[in-house]
Amino acid sequence: MKVHPLALATALASNTLFADGGPVASSQTFVLDKVTVAATLTEQKVADVANTVSVISQEDIENNSATNIREMLRYEPGVEVGSAGRFGLSGFTVRGLGGNRVKILVDGVEQAKDFNSGGPYLRGTRNFVDVDSLKQVEVVKGPASSLYGSDALAGLVSFVTKDASDYLAPTSSGNDTHVSIKAGYNSVDQSFNETLTLANRINDLESLLVYTRRDGEEYDNYNDSYQGGQGNDRTKADPVDFQSDNLLLKLSLPLNEHHTIGLTAEYQQSQTDTDLLSLEGPSYSSTFNYSDYRGDDTNTRKRVGFSHDIDQSTALFDQLSWSLDWQESTTEQVSYNHTNFFGYGRRKIDYSNEEQALQFSLQANKNFDNHLVTYGGQYHATELENSTDKFYLDGTRPDDIQRYTPTVDGVTWGLFLQDQISLFNGKLLLTPGVRYDSFTAEPDTDAIYTTEFDDHDSDKWTARLGGVYKFNDTYSVFAQFSQGFKAPDLVQLYREDSASWYRGYVTIANPDLDPEKSNAYELGLRTQGIWGNFEVAAFYNDYSDFIDTQTDEIFFNGLTVDATQYQNIAEATIKGIEARASIWLDQVSSAPLGSSLQISIAYADGEGKNDGESGDTPIDSVAPLKAVIGANYDAPEGQWGTSLNWTLVPEKEADDVSDESDATTAGFGILDISGYYNVTEQLTLRGGIYNLTDKEYALWEDIRGKSESTSYLDRYTQPGRNFSISATYSF
């Protein structure tokens, strides 16, 4: 299946009808009246911001029957979520770049970094959020460092957790209590989930408790491609048992009409036990039975935060908010295997990665004349510690206690200033902004890690200028120039591994890395009215000083070995176009009241170049074009609704891959149907059937980087026809 990159966008632009006014849209549709905070740090309608922002509400998440971050964004072109196999979902890719180049926030608190050793045992992902604790997710596409500092090189994903006020009546009604229970089942991983929500107001004190429990098995792939057994040819998913617990607690207390304080506590833990049958083979086999090769993984995130909001007009601010948050994110992965291949037998590999952080944030807003000035800063102190301990359980070798990265203390602080200027009676909105960030890393030695490294220091100024011009109430154009940067990860600076030098390879630290940088340009058109909403945007992103691995031969301990080191060796450009529209079918036709049509499309193309190489190379993290067409119906009385979504993705062609020997993916089209029914005011049922036609397909973000000759590619296929159901009862 081949689709011209601009075909659907052109069709949208030429066939969309608009005028003033219009009905309230279904939760499934793109609406320019949705409110975003992440785009400018102040509440703004999507129609009034100078770049592309996607806003996913709690209702969107629930109506899409989402149980994880990939399902949450399944209908959002331009944003992908990759899978790290045994280690779960790995994080977000925005407009072709992912990993730590996309900043992730929970209630404004920066989340732990992804860490990948490149091996089958050690991987720390960024999937520390349960979707049932969220009331909104905002995805800012393109660099956002002028507001958020380091890591917002490619974009930003901002999670906003629920508040007690989302469930309680207005404060004028006095004391109030809400209790709800939600239970669901997802056939794709045979998982059950239960969520308890308690919200309460006693006088002025509001409290919220949300607890979610999930239990399930492995995430199915396509049923017809199953091949059991052990070894590298296995295409069936490895057997998995997982459990997760997520707890959100919030307290909010107005001290008076100007001051409100708040306390937030989060606890999230997931445990996964995996029979690693697919890793059985000549190197790891068979003196013991196959079930002895397994992985036991635990991911934990804890956060405690205090906030203080001031709403009082002074000479310096009209609103001021500050917060102090402590967070600990821990990954522990234990692997058991047996081998005679390297001269040892049964062993246990205990890998742990811990990141503790303390973050202070301050933001102030001041209105005067036609200006809304926002200023403030952040201070973020991080301590990173990881270890790889190998225990030889049959005594064939002494235990090996290692730390390949020293304990590192990192400090980032930044100051920002932004002005939102309204001109010509609100027709022109300009948003200039500037930020300064400083980053310092200090490695420590101890009894396990004795190599000494220099401290790392780097800083960066970033700027942004955006504008929206409204021709009238229907048509507007927007444009933005923005800069991004990403300070080197602590493991990129200091990870050093010479344990396998005798096998011909080592890893060398590089504390002299420079920050990665980006300049981005975006231009778009919006229309809104009685017939619907439409937005189209073209973007061009230029990246420099990319950090990538470089391998050279060196002489080490009397041998010539391959030495791998992170270096600033690459530059890249990614360009593309995105379009999305919602059409109220009941306004343009005789369709029943509450009918709407949603169309969205994203296309990107990327090329990169490494130092010393001639010619450009495709960037593999750029996904193929994706289009989603959805037909929605919401009954006027709000009792029930349904959506039919058709997702279209063309093939990933061989000439769009950096290595001609790598695998590609075929094009596909899949149909999903979902719906809700309010049985009573207290009871709501939701459900969906996904991949209705039982199509066999694979996602590019799961396949990329794997050789075309790989015998087990079917292991990465997506599930066949599957379903999910849930019921929510409110007392």
pLDDT exceeds 90 at position 319:
yes
pLDDT exceeds 80 at position 395:
no
Higher pLDDT, 658 or 186: 186
Locate 439 and state its tokens.
Answer: 């980053």
pLDDT band at 173 (very low <50, low <70, confident <90, very high): low
- Residue 490's φ and ψ, nearest 5 degrees, are -60, -35
- In the chain the first and final C-alpha atoms are separated, in Å, by 50
Locate 412 and state its tokens.
Answer: 């980032």
pLDDT band at 284 (very low <50, low <70, confident <90, very high): low
458: Cβ–Cβ under 8 A, 6 or more apart, which residues? Answer: 438, 439, 487, 488, 514, 515
pLDDT band at 16 (very low <50, low <70, confident <90, very high): very low
pLDDT exceeds 60 at position 159:
yes
Instruction: State which amino acid sits at residue 305.
Output: G
- Give the pLDDT of residue 583: 94
Each domain of the chain, given as residue ranges in start order, spans 7-730
* The residue to which tokens 């391959």 are assigned: 562
Residue 268 and residue 623: Cα distance in Å, rounded?
30
**DSSP state for residue 707 in the 8-state scheme:** B
pTM of the complete model: 0.91
- Give the pLDDT of residue 343: 59
pLDDT in tens, 86-114: 888 888 999 999 889 999 999 999 998 88
The strand pairing partners of 387, in sequence order, are: 352
Q: What is the mean pLDDT of residues 7-15?
A: 36
Q: What is the mean pLDDT of residues 416-440?
A: 95
Half-sphere exposure of 246 (CA within 13 A, CB side): 22
- Give the pLDDT of residue 717: 93
pLDDT band at 119 (very low <50, low <70, confident <90, very high): low
What CATH number belongs to 7-730?
2.40.170.20
304: Cβ–Cβ under 8 A, 6 or more apart, which residues? Answer: 263, 264, 265, 266, 325, 326
pLDDT in tens, 456-482: 999 999 999 999 999 999 999 999 999
117-131, 270-284, 383-397, 519-533 — most confident range = 519-533
pLDDT exceeds 90 at position 243:
yes
pLDDT band at 10 (very low <50, low <70, confident <90, very high): very low
SS (H, E, C) 267-320: EEEEEEEEECHHHCCCCCCCCCCHHHCEEEEEEEEEEEEEEEEEECCCCCCCEE
pLDDT exceeds 90 at position 117:
no
Do 724 and 188 form a contact (C-beta atoms < 8 A)?
Answer: yes
pLDDT in tens, 50-87: 999 999 999 999 988 899 999 999 999 899 998 877 88
Give me the chain's average pLDDT, please: 88
pLDDT in tens, 552-605: 888 888 888 888 888 998 888 999 999 999 999 988 888 899 999 999 999 999
- Give the pLDDT of residue 5: 37
Length of the chain in residues, anyone? 731
- Give the pLDDT of residue 617: 87
pLDDT exceeds 60 at position 433:
yes
* The residue to which tokens 């300049």 are assigned: 519
pLDDT in tens, 637-666: 889 999 999 999 999 998 899 888 899 999
pLDDT in tens, 501-542: 777 888 888 999 999 999 999 999 999 988 999 999 999 999
pLDDT band at 172 (very low <50, low <70, confident <90, very high): low
**DSSP state for residue 663 in the 8-state scheme:** -
Residue 29 and residue 630: Cα distance in Å, rounded?
8
Q: Where are the beta strands (DSSP E) in 471-594?
A: 475-486, 505-508, 516-529, 532-556, 559-584
Do 713 and 699 form a contact (C-beta atoms < 8 A)?
Answer: no
pLDDT in tens, 331-390: 999 988 876 655 566 788 898 889 999 999 999 999 999 999 999 999 999 999 888 888
pLDDT band at 7 (very low <50, low <70, confident <90, very high): very low
The percent of residues above 90 in pLDDT, for the chain, comes to: 61
- Give the pLDDT of residue 22: 34
